[in-house]
Chains A and B, each alone.
Chain A
Amino acid sequence: MATKTETKQAAPAKQEGLQRIPYPFAAIIGQERMKLALILNAINPQIGGVLIRGERGTGKTIAVRGLADVLPMIKVVSDCRFHCNPDDPSEMCASCRERFEKGEKLPREMRKVHIAELPIGATEDRAIGTLNIEKAIKEGIKALDLGILADANRGILYVDNINLLDDHVVDVLLDSAAMGVNVVEREGISVSHPAKFILFGTMNPEEGELRPQLHDRLALQVAAFTVNDLKSRVQIVKNAEEYEKNPEAFRDKYVNETKALTARIEAARKFLPQVEIPTGYLRIIARISTELDVDGHRPDIIVVRTAMTHAAFEGRKQVTEDDLRLAAELTLNFRMRRTPFEEATLGTSKFQQVLDHAKKMEEQARERLAKRQATISQKAEAAAPKTVAGAVKGKTK
């Protein structure tokens, strides 16, 4: 084989995909929690993904696919397969960085955040990329065929029925989710490229549980229920029929709502850096997760980010208690589950209780501290005449 040693990256044999009009996100009735969780992730990718658990036929898949329409725009290098950020060399793929360092001005354009879908039947090699046999046989070049992980870089990777995903593909997902880099080491190819994505998954728990490691990777978790209120039920049927009859017309009907939501998400995205969280709240969050016996520190961080994002979505500069409760609910509810047999979903009211409890404990702690400080300073004052007053004051402060 006349192998050229250089490893080239070639685009896969990607034919123009079938573009079906998704059911509009704004036309989904009920399921407010689920929609909110998705929106928060669209605003702030740092949150790190959503898992939607729910019975069959509750609109899980529709919601994620519909989200594509309301996603914000990002700046990308227009001729890069990995949708690299043209201004940040630390996140670039090897070829973009090389060009950047040479001082080349990278061509750029604005694009919607991309949802790459990983079908259940996907093989491992399509997920991570593999040897391009067309090039190998015809031209004798060892080239990499990029996988879905490359496509998902700086976007969203969506797996429907994520609990049914093959173990080996899950391993690959976990690796790159942790490192933000996809390393392809197979069939004589060795390449790595950035693969930073947020993971969206939907699953029906009746079909089997999710692997714990994957569970931990999905930041927010929400449950989708059958909508039981009669009026909504009727409306859902009407919408479904209308959409089925003419998807295009149905989408146009909701175009204003879609635009409004997109604009709100864009605004929240811009506003996010200005949002502040009172320092006292961080202690409360730490208390809550200790109280609920949650593993690891990741949940605490996610709660903070989610609370801030929700504040931004509501257009508030300050994180409030409501944001905190909501964030805790979205983040911690499924994480406290110790054994698979404990039904461990707490309602909003229960979370309010936990929050109140944490606040009370925090207050008590503060009071105790204040008391102790008071006694110390009293003692100090009593002792002050005998020593140098300034030094003691400094200590007790």
Chain B
Amino acid sequence: MATKTGSKKVIDKTQNPQESLQRIPFPFTAIIGQEKMKLALVLNAINPQIGGVLIRGERGTCKTVAVRALTDILPSIKVVSDCKFHCNPDEPTEMCPTCQARYYAGGNKPLPSVTRKMKVADLPLGATEDRVLGTIDLENAIKKGERTLDPGILAEANRGILYVDEINLLDDNVINSLLDASSSKVNVVEREGISFSHPSNFILVGTMDPGEGELRPQLLDRIALHVIVKTISNLDQKVQVITERNEFDRDPVAFTKKYEKQSSELRDRIIKARALLDKVELPEDKLVLISRICKEVKAEGQRPDIMLSRTSKTLAAYEGRTEVTDDDIKKAVEFILPFRVRATPMVESDAPPYMDDVVDEVQSKEDEDKDEEEVTEEIPTHVFRVGAPIQLPRDMVKRRSDRIVRSGSGDRIKSLSTGRKGRYIKHRIPDDIPQDIAFDATIRAAAPYQKFRRESYQGDAKGLSLFIANSDLRKKVRENKVSTLIVLCVDASGSMGVLRRMEAAKGVVLSLLMDAYQRRDKVSVVAFRGKEAAVVLPPTSSVERARKMLEILPTGGRTPLAAGMLMAYNLINSERKKDPTIIPIFVLLTDGRANVPITEGSEPMDEVTEMAKLIRDDKVYPIVVDTEIPPSGGKFVDFVYEYAQDVAKDLNGVYYRLADLDAVSLGSMIHMEKSMAVSAATGS
């Protein structure tokens, strides 16, 4: 893409500013601290087969700087000079079809090439599938009537680094396309009349702030090394960071020179390690150790084993050894396993310190099998079983369709859709040059002018049978059914254990999940108990994950209701960042008796009211299910608190009693629907 500098560009492509500006990157060796992150990046530079790095950490921990700097210490590569895919001129099996044909036609001689540094291709968050995969080159199509591929970011990333900042916020469709390319190293484009495949072999480097949501499991699995970066707390180092940065900003050239010696040393070390890598041995007993570790921690799939062996070999090569040691494996385990081990919800699993022990332990015990129980509980908890599902009131979760254009698919609400998805319902005159052209309408629009244009066009264009001008272009309008995001905010405090409320509540959650499954909605569960709230189920449409989570969700502790609401609110907003058009539905299951505030010293119930107002003003459709079950089970008029009803009022949401919901399944559906209609009318 960067090679194309034609002035007559029909489509304004999202160009990468860094590429064209040729800025000097901050020297890799000048980065202070963050040794693990640097090591992970270097390992990938030595052996791209490892499969990428995921950097977890807050903003401003020099993640991006390190990735950009990486190109500086990477050995240069030879690329075919005029190839869009930066093919390797010597290796026909790694070439794109065009280069391959040229190579064989030219008698198997290497193609003309240039030597240059590896490049970092950026995948911005807002990138569309078209930009990532590549699509038809509309300029060529319209002006010359030729069908050619307009290569996407995956083409640009071939034989380089694909860098995704905030990878956890990436659009699902884009992730899907990434998944296949990252493992097969080939990008298959089957779009808009283009059928093309080209090599796409890249090192995937992603960064994410875990506070903004987890990564999809499938993608998490594909990225080999996971590192956590933290803000440096050492004061001296902090000062050093600032002075270094200042110095660099003042005179980047001089600064880079200062570090040139270190950089070239590292570069040499990488080149040496690359050469050594093939000779590194992984003895049988070490292989067995690796497999034993993976088995022990119940890592999913065979990928961890393979990644472990590759990483430990690379580590050995980096150290200049040809034999893998236990230490290498230990280091590799820390990079690979922590995030592949299934965590129990509401039990902390941030930086697992026991990884070190796992290796030692597996080593020490050979055949004896002893079960190791983890003890992390400090409050008495109880795991209730999932209650029987109930029949939900019809249209409990429902919204009207509007005119906002959305991407994604589902079965809840009809919506106009973006991108290439959905049924082509009509066409219209676009505001600018469209990507999604309605050819039939365009041709019809161009028809009246053909005679005139035939006479006025000059040169090559005269040979065409059809003359199209920009003003003829028509855009497709598509319609798609979309789904909603249901965020269930579940009270898992001790009071929910009374009268087996939790069991019933889990039943309701289950029913909502089943309903969501049928409409292919996304569901997320936030639970709160003790002192804090946690996202126990990140937005997913997998019932499998949801069920597993429900089964093990514990109950016990106090009620930090406001914290739970805040967590749900944040979750909705971070999902909004991914897709601003999602339809969020907020379901709160609680008895409303908050007794733990977010900020110490303030009144818990006041905070709840504040939160409720915040959510109410945020175009979220709220539903409150009151889990307070009257002692008599609703048969008589009981004295009940109905704190939750107040919350519902503050939220301006629909209010249900758990007891009533149970009654629904017993036949009083009509009553429920009426009360719902009333509350809906008075409510939103």
Residue numbers in A under 8 Å from B422 (CB-CB): 168
Chain A's nearest CB lies how many Å from the CB of B93? 8
Residue numbers in A under 8 Å from B468 (CB-CB): 137
Residue numbers in A under 8 Å from B96 (CB-CB): 18
- Contact at A125–B465, with CB atoms within 8 Å? no
Residue numbers in B under 8 Å from A15 (CB-CB): 97-98, 195-196
- Contact at B301–A56, with CB atoms within 8 Å? yes
The chain A residue with its CB closest to the CB of B447 is A1
- Contact at B190–A122, with CB atoms within 8 Å? yes
A339 contact from B185, B514, B544, Cβ within 8 A: B514
User: Is B494 positioned at the interface, with any CB of A under 8 Å from its CB?
Assistant: no
Residue numbers in B under 8 Å from A125 (CB-CB): 192-193
Report how far A78 CA is from B156 CA in the complex, Å: 37
- Contact at A340–B514, with CB atoms within 8 Å? yes
Whether A341 contacts B514 in the complex (CB less than 8 A), given A18-B197, A167-B481, A244-B49, comes out as yes
B176 contact from A55, A121, A234, Cβ within 8 A: A121
Residue numbers in B under 8 Å from A207 (CB-CB): 216-218, 540-542
- Contact at B192–A61, with CB atoms within 8 Å? no
B193 contact from A18, A133, A139, A340, Cβ within 8 A: A133
User: Is B16 positioned at the interface, with any CB of A under 8 Å from its CB?
Assistant: no
User: Is A68 positioned at the interface, with any CB of B under 8 Å from its CB?
Assistant: no
- Contact at B301–A168, with CB atoms within 8 Å? no
Chain B's nearest CB lies how many Å from the CB of A180? 22
User: Is B440 positioned at the interface, with any CB of A under 8 Å from its CB?
Assistant: yes
Chain A's nearest CB lies how many Å from the CB of B424? 8
The chain A residue with its CB closest to the CB of B550 is A341
User: Is B146 positioned at the interface, with any CB of A under 8 Å from its CB?
Assistant: yes
User: Is B241 positioned at the interface, with any CB of A under 8 Å from its CB?
Assistant: no
Q: Of residues 111 to 141 in A, which have CB atoms within 8 Å of B's CB atoms?
A: 117-127, 130-134, 136-140
Residue numbers in A under 8 Å from B446 (CB-CB): 1
Chain A's nearest CB lies how many Å from the CB of B92? 11
- Contact at A233–B294, with CB atoms within 8 Å? yes
User: Is B199 positioned at the interface, with any CB of A under 8 Å from its CB?
Assistant: yes
Report how far A244 CA is from B310 CA in the complex, Å: 11
Stretch from A85-93, A223-231, A327-335, A384-392 that touches the partner: A223-231
- Contact at A20–B481, with CB atoms within 8 Å? no
B464 contact from A59, A138, A236, A240, Cβ within 8 A: A138
Report how far A145 CA is from B193 CA in the complex, Å: 7
Residue numbers in B under 8 Å from A59 (CB-CB): 302
Stretch from B117-125, B203-211, B284-292, B641-649 that touches the partner: B284-292
Report how far A117 CA is from B189 CA in the complex, Å: 11
Whether A240 contacts B180 in the complex (CB less than 8 A), given A57-B301, A230-B292, comes out as no
Report how far A130 CA is from B493 CA in the complex, Å: 57
- Contact at B541–A18, with CB atoms within 8 Å? no
Residue numbers in A under 8 Å from B593 (CB-CB): none
Chain B's nearest CB lies how many Å from the CB of A345? 12
B120-134 vs A, Cβ < 8 Å mask (1 yes, 0 no): 000000000100010
Residue numbers in A under 8 Å from B141 (CB-CB): 133-134, 137
User: Is A237 positioned at the interface, with any CB of B under 8 Å from its CB?
Assistant: yes
Residue numbers in B under 8 Å from A13 (CB-CB): 147, 193-196
- Contact at B147–A166, with CB atoms within 8 Å? no
User: Is A16 positioned at the interface, with any CB of B under 8 Å from its CB?
Assistant: yes
A234 contact from B100, B191, B291, Cβ within 8 A: B291
Report how far A126 CA is from B134 CA in the complex, Å: 14
- Contact at A57–B302, with CB atoms within 8 Å? yes
Q: Of residues 221 to 236 in B, which have CB atoms within 8 Å of A's CB atoms?
A: 221
Report how far A118 CA is from B310 CA in the complex, Å: 31
Chain A CB within 10 Å, residue with most, of B189, B302, B480, B542: B302
A57 contact from B147, B300, B513, Cβ within 8 A: B300
Residue numbers in B under 8 Å from A236 (CB-CB): 302, 305-306
Chain B CB within 10 Å, residue with most, of A187, A204, A208: A208
B305 contact from A17, A61, A160, A233, Cβ within 8 A: A233
Residue numbers in B under 8 Å from A123 (CB-CB): 190-192, 420
Residue numbers in B under 8 Å from A55 (CB-CB): 300-301
The chain B residue with its CB closest to the CB of A17 is B197
Report how far A134 CA is from B97 CA in the complex, Å: 21
User: Is A104 positioned at the interface, with any CB of B under 8 Å from its CB?
Assistant: no
Whether A206 contacts B195 in the complex (CB less than 8 A), given A18-B96, A120-B177, A137-B145, comes out as no
Whether A208 contacts B443 in the complex (CB less than 8 A), given A1-B450, A137-B145, comes out as no
User: Is A382 positioned at the interface, with any CB of B under 8 Å from its CB?
Assistant: no
Residue numbers in B under 8 Å from A245 (CB-CB): 278
Whether A209 contacts B517 in the complex (CB less than 8 A), given A16-B100, A20-B184, A57-B301, comes out as yes
B532-571 vs A, Cβ < 8 Å mask (1 yes, 0 no): 0000000011111101000000000000000000000000
User: Is A164 positioned at the interface, with any CB of B under 8 Å from its CB?
Assistant: yes
A-B contact count (CB 8 A): 226
The chain B residue with its CB closest to the CB of A343 is B547
Whether A140 contacts B193 in the complex (CB less than 8 A), given A18-B198, A119-B188, A238-B287, comes out as no
- Contact at A18–B420, with CB atoms within 8 Å? no
- Contact at A56–B195, with CB atoms within 8 Å? no
User: Is A188 positioned at the interface, with any CB of B under 8 Å from its CB?
Assistant: yes
Residue numbers in A under 8 Å from B197 (CB-CB): 17-18
Report how far A119 CA is from B132 CA in the complex, Å: 14
Whether A237 contacts B100 in the complex (CB less than 8 A), given A134-B145, A137-B141, A208-B541, comes out as no
Report how far A187 CA is from B463 CA in the complex, Å: 24
Residue numbers in A under 8 Å from B49 (CB-CB): 244
Report how far A27 CA is from B601 CA in the complex, Å: 64
Report how far A167 CA is from B421 CA in the complex, Å: 9
User: Is A241 positioned at the interface, with any CB of B under 8 Å from its CB?
Assistant: yes
User: Is A12 positioned at the interface, with any CB of B under 8 Å from its CB?
Assistant: yes
Chain A's nearest CB lies how many Å from the CB of B645? 30
B199 contact from A18, A145, A211, A230, Cβ within 8 A: A18
User: Is B179 positioned at the interface, with any CB of A under 8 Å from its CB?
Assistant: yes
B284 contact from A124, A228, A234, Cβ within 8 A: A234
User: Is B423 positioned at the interface, with any CB of A under 8 Å from its CB?
Assistant: yes
Q: Of residues 23 to 54 in B, which have CB atoms within 8 Å of A's CB atoms?
A: 49
User: Is B186 positioned at the interface, with any CB of A under 8 Å from its CB?
Assistant: yes
Residue numbers in B under 8 Å from A126 (CB-CB): 190-195
A338-366 vs B, Cβ < 8 Å mask (1 yes, 0 no): 01110100000000000000000000000
Whether A206 contacts B514 in the complex (CB less than 8 A), given A126-B190, A133-B439, A137-B141, comes out as no
The chain A residue with its CB closest to the CB of B176 is A120
Whether A166 contacts B409 in the complex (CB less than 8 A), given A56-B300, A120-B180, A234-B288, comes out as yes
Residue numbers in A under 8 Å from B510 (CB-CB): 341
The chain A residue with its CB closest to the CB of B132 is A121
The chain B residue with its CB closest to the CB of A188 is B440
Chain B's nearest CB lies how many Å from the CB of A135? 8
User: Is A262 positioned at the interface, with any CB of B under 8 Å from its CB?
Assistant: no
User: Is A272 positioned at the interface, with any CB of B under 8 Å from its CB?
Assistant: no
Report how far A58 CA is from B411 CA in the complex, Å: 31
Report how far A140 CA is from B468 CA in the complex, Å: 12
Whether A226 contacts B300 in the complex (CB less than 8 A), given A18-B199, A206-B544, comes out as yes
User: Is A205 positioned at the interface, with any CB of B under 8 Å from its CB?
Assistant: yes
Report how far A37 CA is from B299 CA in the complex, Å: 26
User: Is A42 positioned at the interface, with any CB of B under 8 Å from its CB?
Assistant: no
Which residues from chain B sit less than 8 Å from chain A, CB to CB? 49, 93, 96-98, 100-101, 129, 133, 141-142, 145-147, 172-173, 176-177, 179-180, 183-186, 188-199, 216-218, 221, 278, 282, 284, 287-288, 290-292, 294-295, 299-306, 309-310, 389, 409, 411, 420-424, 438-440, 443, 446-447, 450, 463-466, 468, 480-481, 510, 513-514, 517, 520, 540-545, 547
Instruction: Please provide the 8 A-B residue pairs with the shortest distance between their CB atoms, ordered closest to farther.
Output: A57-B301, A140-B465, A57-B303, A137-B145, A233-B291, A208-B541, A122-B190, A138-B145
Please list 14 pairs of residues, one from A and one from B, whose beta carbons are closer than 8 Å in the complex, sorted by A's number. A12-B193, A13-B196, A122-B190, A126-B193, A134-B146, A137-B141, A148-B190, A161-B218, A166-B409, A166-B421, A187-B440, A206-B218, A207-B542, A341-B514
A55-B300, A120-B176, A208-B540 given; 9 more Cβ-contact pairs under 8 Å: A1-B450, A1-B465, A12-B195, A61-B183, A121-B129, A164-B176, A167-B409, A188-B440, A230-B291
